[in-house]
Amino acid sequence: MEKQVSRHNHRIFSRSNRLFDKASPETIAFLASVGADLSLLISPEGDIVDVAYREPGVERYGVDDWIGRAWRDTVTPECFDKIDALLEENDKTGTTRRRQVNHPAKGLPDLPVDYSLVTIEGMPWRLALGEDMRKLSDIQQQLVRTQTELESEYRKIREAEGRYRTIFHKTAQAIIIVDGDSHAVIDINLTGANLLHQPASRLIDKPAQQLVERDDRNALTDALGAARHGGARKTLTLRAAGHGEPLNAVIEPYRENGRGNLMLSLLPAAGASAEMSESADMALLDSFAEALVIIDRKGMIAAANDPFLDLIHVLNKSMVIDRNLNGWLGASSVDLQVLLSRVREEGQVRQFSTVVRDELGTTKTVAVSAARMPGESDGQRIGVQISEAARRDAQFTVPSPGADAGSSDFAELVGRVPLKDLIREAVDVIEKMCIEAALRQTDNNRASAADMLGLSRQSLYIKLRRHGLEDFGSDNA
C-alpha cells in the first residue's frame, strides 16, 4: 500500500470567513473548478455527481455523459486500482497525492488526466481536481519517436561502418589513410599491414614517413604535401621500411568532414604494372562525357565508364563487367555481330546506327563508333563509343522516286540499320512510286487511280496525305 498523506501540503487562506462569507454558490463552484483542467464532484460511494472542464475540446471524450456513473467505470481497466487508491486515501486523510488515469473514448486516443482528490469541509461531495496530460503525453510520444528514429539512424550508421570496414579490409589493394596536416596514419587495411609486415595496430597514429626507408622519406613528404595542397594525384616508387621491398605508391587527396586527407595506395613493383595500367585505363574512360565500353572480340565487357551506366540505367560497374554488350546494344544480337565483323575487317567503324535498350525497358536511338584498342592488332580488345542520336531518320535516307537508286545504296545501309526498319522505309518508297505512276497513267483522275491500285477512294486519299501527294499534278494543270 502506498504511503498515506497525513496533512495538506499547501497553505489555505487564513481569513476565509470574512473573505468568502458573501460568496454565492455559483462563485464557490467556479472557485472549485478554476484551478483544474477537469473537475469532478464525487459522491461518498464513488459516483460522479457533476463535471466541469476548462477546454471545450474535452467534450469530444463524452465527459458530460460521466454524470451518474461510477468514477471507476470511466477509466481504462488498468486504472481501476488507481481510482480505488484515490478513494481509500481520501477517506483516511481528506486529500491525496496525484495519480494519472486514462479515460477511454471511442475513435480517439485515451484522455490522460492527473487527479488529486480532496474533501471540502461542509460539503457532502469530494472534489477531484484533474490536470489534462495530453500535451505532456504528446511530448513524451514525440520523444519516444525521436529516440526510435535516432536509434534507427544510429543502427544504419553502424551497419554502413561495418560494410566499410569489411570492404576496406577485404580489398586486395594496400590502402593507408593519412592525415593531410600531420601526415599521421589514420587507418590502414589488413592488406597494407601485411605488405609492410607490421600489425595494423602498431601503424595507427604513426607518421607515414616511418613506413618507408630513410632515403625515401623526404620524397614521400614532398609528394604528400604536393597532393594535399595541389589537389592532384601523385605517383612515386618507395621502399618499405625494414625489408626494402620496392613499392609503387599512388597518393590521392580527398575531403573528409571539411578537411583534406590523403589515401596512399601501395602495390608491389613486380606486379603493379598491370594493375596500374588497368587503373589508368579506367581513369581515362571516366574522363569522357560519352558512353565508352571496352569489349573483347566476342562482345564481353571488360570495362565501362559511368556515362554508359547512366545510359542503360545500371547502378554499378559490377553489374555489366563480364556480360555481353548485346544485352543492351542493338535491336537484336545481329547488330553487335555486324559491328564486330566490320571492326575485324576494317579496323574501325564510325556512326553505326542502332539502338540501346536500358534496364527500364525503354529504347534509345544511338550512333556507335568502334575501333581496335592501340596495341591490340589481333582484335582482342575493342573500344566502343556510344552517342545518343536525335532521330534514326537522320542516320540514313532511302532513295527517293526518280533518283538513281541502285542496289548498292541499300547494301550500304545493311549493318547500319535494322532490317525491319530498312524494309519498312523501302515499302513506303515503293508505295509512293506506285501511286505516282497510277496518277500519271490516269491523268490525275483519283477515282480511276484508286480502281487501278485496288484501293477505295478513301484509302487512296489517306495515302496521298501520308506521302504528301495531295497536290500531285497541280503544276501540270
Q: What is the pLDDT of residues 341-354, one digit of tens each?
A: 888 888 888 888 88
At residue 74 the predicted structure's pLDDT band, cuts being 50, 70 and 90, is very high
At residue 393 the predicted structure's pLDDT band, cuts being 50, 70 and 90, is very low
Q: Within 10 A of 357 (CB to CB), how many other CB atoms are there?
A: 16
Mean of pLDDT values over 293-318? 88
Q: What is the pLDDT of residues 133-179, one digit of tens each?
A: 888 878 888 888 899 899 989 888 888 888 888 888 888 788 999 99
For 403-430, b/e burial (b = at least 16 CB within 10 A) is: eeeeeeebeebebbbbeebbeebeeebe
Q: What is the pLDDT of residues 16-50, one digit of tens each?
A: 555 556 556 666 666 665 668 888 889 989 999 88
Q: H-helix or E-strand containing 178?
A: strand 174-178
pLDDT at position 123 over 70: yes
pLDDT at position 468 over 60: yes
Cell 613493383 belongs to which residue?
A: 269
Q: Average pLDDT of the chain? A: 80
What's the pLDDT score for residue 412? 55
Q: H-helix or E-strand containing 333?
A: helix 333-346
And the C-alpha cell for 219?
Answer: 620524397
Nearest-CA neighbor of 392 among 351, 332, 338, 432?
A: 351
Nearest-CA neighbor of 342 among 420, 419, 423, 414?
A: 414
- Contacts of 449 by beta carbon, 8 Å cutoff, 6+ apart: 435, 438, 439, 441, 442, 460
User: Could you tell me if 362 and 388 are in contact, meaning their C-beta atoms sit under 8 angstroms apart?
Assistant: no
What's the pLDDT score for residue 405? 42
CA distance 71 to 48: 6
What's the pLDDT score for residue 201? 86
CA distance 205 to 476: 94
